[in-house]
């Protein structure tokens, strides 16, 4: 029997390296991997579905899954997870000192249906002291003007949201036209170190750890999407892909925890791995895939999506992922 040829678009990650490089392969699948920056991957897949398998932002994926006829299905492989308290940027000489100061202000976002902004707005609404309808939201490019929205859904009543096409969000922030910008990638002005911009929460690491310990939320950024037509013709691929991604991740963990050699050139990496395992995943495997190991995060994110109009209705975690990946056989 000839293996099924499939193409995967994904960024470069250590926990998918063995699969993407061809060192290992999913059973029954001849996999071709394309490595792009995530922005290009998301744009091309969400607009034209150019390949059969794709890393996709969780927000865009949930938005698509909420449609009456979803064009994609998914497997619960959580490729990227990042806390986002660090994503708020303000002027160093501005009036904003705490998140509560953003009530009544203007905040720039690259897109409404972007995972980082969904998490950041959810935190701000529930914990940060500024409700969704107490902020004027401005969409645009962080460093360059003219960023296009991939689809913002139907915004809830009372939300003020507009697009600015002729000026970057960073320039608007520096000129006093915005009070903050939310961005996954730090603005280039911030990275330059010229001091005009700073993070709203300089101690973000402590705040993110506190947030996790109180809520159990470790934000999932990206998951794996499969074109629905491909899945429906070959339902068996979901389980085989899930197994392959699990094996690739297992190989990464072995490298990360190897005391014999410095597989990752970072001092005390094995101790850092052990500490992260104890802090974040004490009762499960490291960086867990599947619904149960991330249920609190998924349920919170789906609540944020519903509140912000990212999805057309409130979804459950089980509605996101195909049934073949939600059960496993036991001997």
Beta strands in 82-152 (DSSP E): 88-91, 106-109, 136-139
Report whether 10 contacts 57 (CB < 8 A): no
Q: What is the pLDDT of residues 117-173, one digit of tens each?
A: 999 999 999 999 999 999 999 999 999 999 988 776 789 999 999 999 999 999 999
Q: What are phi and psi of 17, to 5 degrees?
A: -55, -50
Top CATH class, 4-81+219-325: alpha beta
Quote the CA–CA distance of 138 and 124 in Å, as a whole number.
Answer: 16
Q: What is the pLDDT of residues 81-107, one digit of tens each?
A: 999 999 999 999 999 999 999 999 999
CA angle 184–96–161, rounded 5-degree value: 60
Does the pTM surpass 0.85? The reply is: yes
Q: Give the domain ranges of the chain.
A: 4-81+219-325, 85-215
CATH level 2 (architecture), domain 85-215? 3-Layer(aba) Sandwich (3.40)
Using the predicted structure, report yes or no on whether residue 1 has a pLDDT greater than 80.
no
Domain 4-81+219-325 identical in fold to domain 85-215: yes
């Amino acid at each position: 029997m000839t293996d099924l040829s499939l193409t995967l678009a994904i960024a470069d990650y250590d926990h998918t390296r063995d699969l993407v490089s061809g060192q290992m392969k999913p059973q029954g699948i001849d996999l071709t991997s394309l490595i792009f920056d995530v922005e290009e991957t998301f744009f091309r897949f969400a607009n034209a579905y150019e390949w059969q398998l794709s890393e996709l932002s969780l927000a865009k994926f949930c938005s698509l899954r909420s449609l009456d006829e979803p064009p994609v299905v998914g497997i619960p492989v959580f490729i990227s997870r990042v806390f986002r308290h660090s994503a708020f940027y303000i002027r160093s000489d501005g009036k904003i000192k705490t998140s509560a100061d953003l009530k009544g202000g203007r905040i720039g976002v690259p897109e409404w249906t972007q995972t980082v902004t969904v998490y950041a707005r959810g935190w701000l609404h529930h914990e940060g002291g500024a409700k969704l309808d107490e902020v004027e939201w401005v969409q645009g490019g962080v460093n360059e003007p003219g960023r296009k929205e991939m689809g913002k859904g139907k915004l809830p009543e009372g939300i003020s949201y507009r697009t600015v096409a002729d000026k970057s969000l960073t320039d608007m922030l520096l000129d006093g036209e915005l009070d903050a910008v939310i961005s996954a990638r730090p603005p280039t002005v911030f990275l330059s170190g010229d001091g005009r911009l700073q993070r709203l929460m300089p101690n973000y690491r402590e705040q993110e750890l506190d947030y996790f310990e109180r809520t159990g939320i470790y934000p999932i950024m990206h998951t794996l999407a499969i074109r629905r037509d491909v899945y429906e013709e070959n339902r068996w691929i979901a389980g085989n892909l899930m197994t392959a991604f699990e094996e690739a991740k297992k190989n990464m963990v072995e490298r990360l925890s190897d005391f014999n050699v410095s597989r990752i050139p970072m001092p005390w990496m094995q101790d850092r791995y052990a500490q992260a395992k104890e802090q974040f995943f004490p009762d499960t495997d490291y960086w867990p895939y599947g619904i149960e190991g991330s249920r609190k995060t998924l349920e919170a994110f789906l609540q944020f999506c519903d509140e912000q109009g990212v999805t057309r209705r409130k979804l459950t975690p089980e509605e996101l992922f195909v049934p073949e990946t939600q059960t496993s056989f036991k001997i």
